[in-house]
Amino acid sequence: MTRIAIIVGSVRPGRYSRTVADWVLAQAAGRDDAEFAIVDLIDHPLPHLDEPAPASGGRYDNEHTKAWSQVIDGFDGFVFVTPEYNHSTTGVLKNAIDYLYAEWNNKAAGFVSYGVAGGVRAVEHLRLVAAEVQLATTRSQVALSFYTDFENFTTLTPGAHQVDALAVTFDQVVAWSEALAPLRK
């Protein structure tokens, strides 16, 4: 069965990303085409990149990197949940991606972002990073606005159109993950 990680891309106190990721997982619950699981970066503390060799070499010295490698290697695709900070994604998410290389290769990635502008600029940055680690990104994405998808800017209340957009994102992530499987062997 295809395995998709929903990566919680913020560890900030008071973060919304876990709430958003839980919503994403709840929407995936009725699907039978893949297994979905939360991977919360708060559970995988990685210091600022501290490997002496580039990740593309595949040689990891640190135990935290080896553990992170095993987690990511076990998935066929990803849905990144990211807030937008200063027109980009979070430093912790970028750092987590930078730690590895081959573990990301030939897998699919979709995005659920949120923020005042829906987090779309964070996703644009992530698409560039994903291309470098050979992640195939889907066209469809979910962009949650604090103005329309959060009641009083705090409680997640996505509209039906967001549920539909997420279903299309899932469809694309699963399809691309399966299509790329021969390249991962």
β-pairing, 135-145 with 107-115?
parallel
pLDDT of residue 173: 98
pTM of the model as a whole? 0.97
Amino acid 45: pLDDT: 96
Per residue in 45-97, pLDDT (tens digit) is: 999 999 999 999 999 999 999 999 999 999 999 999 999 999 999 999 999 99
Measure the CA–CA gap between 150 and 145, rounded to whole angstroms. 7
Quote the pLDDT of residue 112.
98
Give me the pLDDT at residue 94, please: 98
Give me the pLDDT at residue 100, please.
98
Domain CATH code at residue 170? 3.40.50.360
Q: What is the pLDDT of residue 133?
A: 98
Band of residue 178 on the pLDDT scale cut at 50, 70, 90 = very high
- Give me the domain span that covers residue 124: 3-184
108-128 per-position pLDDT tens digit:
999 999 999 999 999 999 999
Tell me the residue ranges of DSSP E strands in 84-164: 107-115, 135-145, 150-151, 155-156
**Predicted local distance difference test score (pLDDT) of residue 135:** 98
Of 13, 10, 11, 8, the residue nearest 24 (C-alpha): 8
HSE of 120, CA atoms in CB hemisphere, 13 A: 7
Q: What is the total count of domains within the chain? A: 1
C-beta of residue 80 within 8 angstroms of C-beta of residue 126: yes
As a whole number, the mean pLDDT across the chain is: 97
Sign, CA dihedral 119-121-126-131, equals: positive
| pLDDT for position 185 | 87
Q: At residue 107, does pLDDT exceed 90?
A: yes
Give the model's confidence band at 176: pLDDT under 50 very low, under 70 low, under 90 confident, else very high: very high
The structure tokens listed for 181 are: 């499987």
**Per-residue confidence band for 163, with pLDDT thresholds at 50, 70 and 90:** very high
β-pair type (150-151, 155-156): antiparallel
- Measured CA to CA, the distance from residue 99 to residue 47 in angstroms comes to 10
Q: Which two tokens stand for residue 178?
A: 């399966």
